[in-house]
Every structure is written in structure tokens, then in C-alpha cells.
């Protein structure tokens, strides 16, 4: 058991590869350490246009200043894909309301005409909802998603190599129709009484790699495996926060962990904005356990055992399970046979 961690590492993608375009041994060692022992790290040097990150945050903030009726025109209760606008206090984590409102979006594709009864998660393919009177939001969000898809694929390649797998090991699971997800989030404090100081409650993410752009307010905390103490993840200019999801925990039998994290709501009168992006495979991708090198397999901790929230090997099943719990009103409207 390694010593408890008190901070989240920072890695530089701009210097991660040698002159031949291969990840350097030093970078792979640092990546393996961060992914196994913390499950969270920050990356700088990830590319993008100068100022693109702040432009996106400013665009998101402007959307949440629109009148409530304009935001409600995108109500996610109208979407079987859980896309669109989630009202303050209506998303639930650990059975408790969160102090946030948000837009959820993903790849914009035609819904499938026929969905087998045993694969209800295939209904998650569909269209986004964007404000027609504010086209800047869709443009900025989709441009960001394109950049994050590249960064997510690059990091997953590095993680694969760092744990002794071919760098393209997971590529097939993402081929064709990767079901990435994006959120545009506004946290507010003091206006959702039942939330208390919960911005979003403690949870793990569903997919493979999460890339988070956060503003300067702060509030993100993580709890690495085996630790009782929460670690603060301070906003770092020019950085993305990276964490791993349940699919990588399943695949590596817990050598890589979907680390628990939470967000504390900002003080009353303070706005916090963030843009999490979830680099995720096809909805029908089944994630089997990988064969790790012996020295790494010996350090695998097993998959988290929570009978109330089992991890499922099919990505679509795993994410639908999570959304049904987080958005009970939308679940009852579109998945009454599955809603609790």
C-alpha cells in the first residue's frame, strides 16, 4: 500500500513524447503512478486554440444568464437521451439534490428506429438540444468536444501502454460511434435548501476517461482508494483535470480505479462553471478484463463491490443505470419499466 496522497499530480502532454512520437518512459511511469495510486491528475500542454478554454467558460456563463424560460425550452424531461437542460436541484446524487443546473450533450445522431427490448440503452443515441437564439453555445461546446475526443483518445493510448497493453488496445471499442458525453455546468450555493453544501455528491464516473475544465472558484475534492482524507484539486490555469471511470476499473480488475469525487457548492452569491467531458466507447461495447503483466496484476484491488450500484461490463447498460438514478423525472417519463 503506497503512502497516502495529499495532492493531485500534474503531467505535461506537450513533453510526453519523444522525437519519434512515442511516449517517453518517464511520462509512462508518471502516468501509471497517477492512474493507479490517485486515479486523478491534471494535464497541461493538451493543445487547443489560445484562450479557447476561457472562451468556452465565458460562453457557458452567458447561457446561464438567459431567462429561465429560455433554458426551460431545452428541458431534458423531453429527451429520452437525457440531453438538454437540467433544472436546479433536480439531478440527484446519493439520493440528494445537487446545487447545479446544466446542459447535457453528446454526439448528435439519428435515434435508432428499432431498439431490442433487451438493449434499452441503445435509445440513448439521439439529438442534442441547443438554444436557437444563442448559437454560440453549440459552436463552442462541439468544438471543445472535438478537441477533448482527441485528448481523451491520446490519454487512453498512454494509459494502455503504461499498464503493459498495446497502445491501441481499446480502439475497437470506440470505433464508429463512440458515445462520449459532455456537460456544461453552473453551480450555485444557497438556493437549493435540500442540497445543503452539496454541489454534486460523492460518485464515480461511468466511462473510461473524464476530462474536466474548471473555472477559478474551486470545490472539487477526490478520495483515492484506501484513504479516508479528501484531497482538494485546486484550479490550475491552462490545465484539465483527468480521472478514470468504471470501465477501466472493470477492465483492470481494480488496478485502475474509478476514484470517488465530489464538488462542494460555492458560497451564496458565487457562481462556479465547469465543463466535464467523458471519453466513452460505443453504447454496445462490452469491456472484458485485460491480462495485465504479473507485477501489475498482483496490485489489482478488485472491482468495487456495491450491491446498490453494481458495475456492468456493457458501457450502455452502465451509463443508463446511472442516468436513471440521477434523473428520476426523466426516467419515469421515458423508461417507466426501468425507473425505481
pLDDT one-digit tens code per residue, 215-267: 999 999 999 988 889 999 999 999 999 999 988 998 999 999 899 999 999 99
Beta-bridge partner residues of 100: 187
What pLDDT band is residue 304 in, cutting at 50, 70 and 90? Answer: confident
0.85 exceeded by the pTM? yes
The verdict on residue 250 lying in a domain is yes
Residues 6 or more apart in contact with residue 272 via CB below 8 angstroms: 186, 187, 188, 199, 214, 215, 217, 218, 219, 263, 265, 266
From CA 331, how far away is CA 231, in angstroms rounded? 33
pLDDT one-digit tens code per residue, 138-159: 999 999 999 999 999 999 999 9
What mean pLDDT comes out for the span 6-13?
Answer: 92
Give me the percent of the chain exceeding a pLDDT of 90.
83
From CA 11, how far away is CA 267, in angstroms rounded? 30
The verdict on residue 257 lying in a domain is yes
From CA 265, how far away is CA 200, in angstroms rounded? 8
The verdict on residue 3 lying in a domain is no
Can you give the pLDDT at residue 339? Answer: 80
User: Going by DSSP bridges, is the β-strand pair 84-86/40-44 parallel, antiparallel, or unpaired?
Assistant: unpaired
What mean pLDDT comes out for the span 180-207?
Answer: 91
The verdict on residue 4 lying in a domain is no
From CA 11, how far away is CA 150, in angstroms rounded? 17
What pLDDT band is residue 3 in, cutting at 50, 70 and 90? Answer: low
- The SS3 call for residue 173 is helix
Reported as half-sphere exposure (CB side, CA atoms, 13 A), residue 303 has a value of 18
pLDDT at 4 over 80: no
Can you give the pLDDT at residue 318? Answer: 87
Domains held by the chain: number: 1
Residue, of 31 and 191, whose pLDDT is higher:
31
Burial of 20 (0-12, 13-18, 19+ CB in 10 A): exposed
Can you give the pLDDT at residue 312? Answer: 63
Q: Are 150 and 47 in contact (CB under 8 A)?
A: yes
Can you give the pLDDT at residue 311? Answer: 59
**What grid cell was written down for 167?**
497502445
Can you give the pLDDT at residue 14? Answer: 96
The verdict on residue 339 lying in a domain is no
* Alpha carbon of residue 32 to chain centroid: 20
CATH code (residue 194):
2.60.120.330
What pLDDT band is residue 313 in, cutting at 50, 70 and 90? Answer: confident
Q: Are 266 and 272 in contact (CB under 8 A)?
A: yes
Can you give the pLDDT at residue 130? Answer: 98
Domain encompassing residue 251: 10-334
Amino acid at each position: 500500500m503506497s503512502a497516502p496522497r495529499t495532492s493531485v499530480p500534474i503531467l505535461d502532454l506537450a513533453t510526453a513524447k519523444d522525437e519519434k512520437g512515442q511516449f517517453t518512459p518517464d511520462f509512462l511511469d508518471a502516468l501509471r503512478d497517477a492512474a493507479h495510486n490517485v486515479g486523478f491528475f491534471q494535464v497541461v500542454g493538451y493543445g487547443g486554440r489560445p484562450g479557447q478554454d476561457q472562451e468556452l467558460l465565458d460562453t457557458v456563463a452567458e447561457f446561464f444568464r438567459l431567462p429561465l424560460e429560455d433554458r426551460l425550452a431545452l428541458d431534458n424531461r423531453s429527451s429520452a437521451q437525457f440531453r438538454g437542460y437540467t433544472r436546479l436541484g433536480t439531478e440527484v446524487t446519493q439520493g440528494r439534490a445537487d446545487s447545479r443546473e446544466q446542459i447535457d450533450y453528446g454526439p448528435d445522431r439519428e435515434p435508432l428506429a428499432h431498439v431490442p427490448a433487451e438493449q434499452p440503452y441503445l435509445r440513448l443515441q439521439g439529438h442534442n438540444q441547443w438554444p436557437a437564439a444563442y448559437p454560440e453555445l453549440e459552436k463552442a461546446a462541439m468544438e471543445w468536444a472535438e478537441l477533448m475526443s482527441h485528448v481523451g483518445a491520446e490519454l487512453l493510448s498512454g494509459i494502455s501502454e503504461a499498464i503493459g497493453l498495446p497502445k491501441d488496445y481499446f480502439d475497437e471499442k470506440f470505433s464508429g460511434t463512440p458515445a462520449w458525453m459532455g456537460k456544461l455546468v453552473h453551480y450555485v450555493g444557497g438556493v437549493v435548501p435540500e442540497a445543503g453544501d452539496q454541489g454534486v455528491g460523492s460518485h464515480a464516473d461511468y466511462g473510461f476517461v473524464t476530462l474536466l475544465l474548471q473555472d477559478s472558484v474551486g470545490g472539487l475534492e477526490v478520495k483515492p482508494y484506501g484513504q479516508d482524507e479528501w484531497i482538494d484539486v485546486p484550479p490550475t490555469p491552462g490545465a484539465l483535470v483527468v480521472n478514470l471511470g468504471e470501465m477501466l476499473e472493470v477492465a483492470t480488475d481494480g488496478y485502475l480505479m474509478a476514484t470517488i469525487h465530489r464538488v462542494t457548492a460555492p458560497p451564496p452569491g458565487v457562481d462556479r462553471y465547469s465543463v466535464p467531458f467523458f471519453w466513452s466507447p460505443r453504447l454496445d461495447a462490452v469491456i472484458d478484463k485485460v491480462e495485465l503483466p504479473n507485477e501489475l496484476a498482483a496490485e489489482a484491488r478488485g472491482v468495487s463491490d456495491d450491491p446498490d450500484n453494481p458495475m456492468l461490463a456493457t458501457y450502455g447498460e452502465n451509463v443508463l443505470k446511472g442516468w436513471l438514478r440521477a434523473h428520476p423525472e426523466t426516467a419515469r417519463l421515458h423508461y417507466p419499466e426501468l425507473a425505481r
